[in-house]
């Protein structure tokens, strides 16, 4: 498949970035991942707005949204008709310059812009039915995780720790309170109230989180954006992850303790609502 790199569409095998790219050297860049359902980008405007905030936060120039949209459509056009789901990846780094911590001199390098679309497999129904297992890990990430930077080593290590313990993913815990998972936000429900961590600098404000909050409100479900502890989470009626590729994914156990419901009714309802919003269901 073709990818887009710095203004050109090139075969994936020929898409190369320099050893001096600041993304490679310093993780000096930001990214977005967008779900493509039946050739349509899910919540494009929200992703573009968040990309704009991430770029501004690390002092990179804004990107031209209509140009990105044009490129995205061209990449999506390469998907076969049998590919009902895909992901669009966008990465912008501070460009290429001989290694030095300070920013390159103004005008010395354009940002590196990479975009690709790749097919994704829909989450199997059995996974939703059985729920996933999670472990908890200390949230030792920096304090600006609201910026969607490509500096994801703590997330990578936490995910790997989960895999090594036979779990699906890890939940970050900061000062005793649950923040989020390695690439998804986390919700719990107790006595009909839905809880998720507030959108502070300690979580990535997920687009799926935002959509799920809207879907819950449309169903008159009370939502409480208050931090909760691991103990509260384990005592919940149900819990689930939300994310671009995770969608709404029920949690069955945490650190080996089974939750009351491995695949709760609220999660299933909200997943159905999300699919409807994505144009997958009537």
Residues 6+ positions from 81 with CB-CB distance below 8 Å: none
Q: Is 78 helix (H, G, I), strand (E, B) or coil?
A: coil
Residue nearest to ligand PDD (CB): 206
Q: Closest distance between ligand PDD and the C-beta of residue 103, in Å? A: 25
Judged by beta carbon, residue 49 or residue 56, the one nearer ligand PDD is 49
Q: Closest distance between ligand PDD and the C-beta of residue 266, in Å? A: 18
Quick check: 22 and 92 in contact, CB under 8 A? no
Minimal CA–CA distance to 33: which of 151, 215, 208? 208
Judged by beta carbon, residue 96 or residue 179, the one nearer ligand PDD is 179
148 is annotated as an active-site residue: yes
Marked catalytic residue, from 8, 148, 159, 190: 148
Q: Closest distance between ligand PDD and the C-beta of residue 78, in Å? A: 21
Residues 6+ positions from 21 with CB-CB distance below 8 Å: 93, 95, 96, 112
Contact set with ligand PDD (CB under 6 A):
33, 155, 180, 183-185, 204, 206-209, 242-245
Judged by beta carbon, residue 131 or residue 206, the one nearer ligand PDD is 206
List b or e across 203-239, with b for residues whose CB sees 16 or more CB atoms inside 10 angstroms. Answer: bbbbbbbbbbbebbeeeebeeeeebbebebbbebbbb
Q: Closest distance between ligand PDD and the C-beta of residue 46, in Å? A: 8
Judged by beta carbon, residue 109 or residue 207, the one nearer ligand PDD is 207
């Amino acid at each position: 498949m073709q990818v887009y790199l710095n203004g050109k569409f090139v075969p994936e095998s020929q898409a190369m970035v320099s050893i001096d790219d600041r993304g490679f050297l310093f993780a000096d860049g930001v990214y977005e991942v967008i779900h493509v359902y039946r050739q349509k980008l899910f919540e494009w405007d929200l992703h573009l707005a968040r990309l704009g905030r991430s770029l501004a936060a690390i002092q990179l120039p804004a990107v031209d949204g209509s140009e990105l949209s044009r490129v995205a459509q061209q990449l999506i056009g390469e998907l076969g008709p049998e590919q009902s789901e895909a992901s669009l990846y966008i990465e912008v780094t501070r460009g290429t310059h001989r290694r030095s911590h300070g920013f390159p001199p103004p005008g010395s390098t354009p940002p590196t812009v990479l975009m690709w679309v790749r097919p994704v497999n829909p989450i199997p129904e059995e996974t939703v039915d059985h729920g996933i297992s999670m472990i908890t890990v200390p949230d030792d990430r920096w304090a600006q995780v609201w910026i969607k930077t490509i500096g994801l080593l703590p997330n990578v290590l936490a995910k790997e720790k989960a895999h090594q313990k036979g779990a699906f993913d890890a939940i970050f815990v900061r000062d005793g309170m649950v923040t989020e998972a390695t690439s998804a936000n986390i919700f719990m429900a107790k006595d009909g109230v839905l809880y998720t961590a507030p959108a502070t600098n300690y979580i990535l404000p997920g687009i799926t989180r935002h959509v799920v909050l809207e879907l819950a409100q449309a169903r008159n479900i009370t939502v409480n954006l208050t931090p909760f502890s691991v103990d509260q989470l384990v005592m919940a009626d149900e819990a689930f992850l939300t994310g671009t590729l995770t969608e709404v994914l029920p949690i069955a156990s945490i650190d080996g303790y089974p939750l009351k419901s491995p695949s709760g009714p609220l999660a299933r309802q909200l997943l159905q609502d999300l699919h409807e919003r994505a144009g997958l269901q009537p």
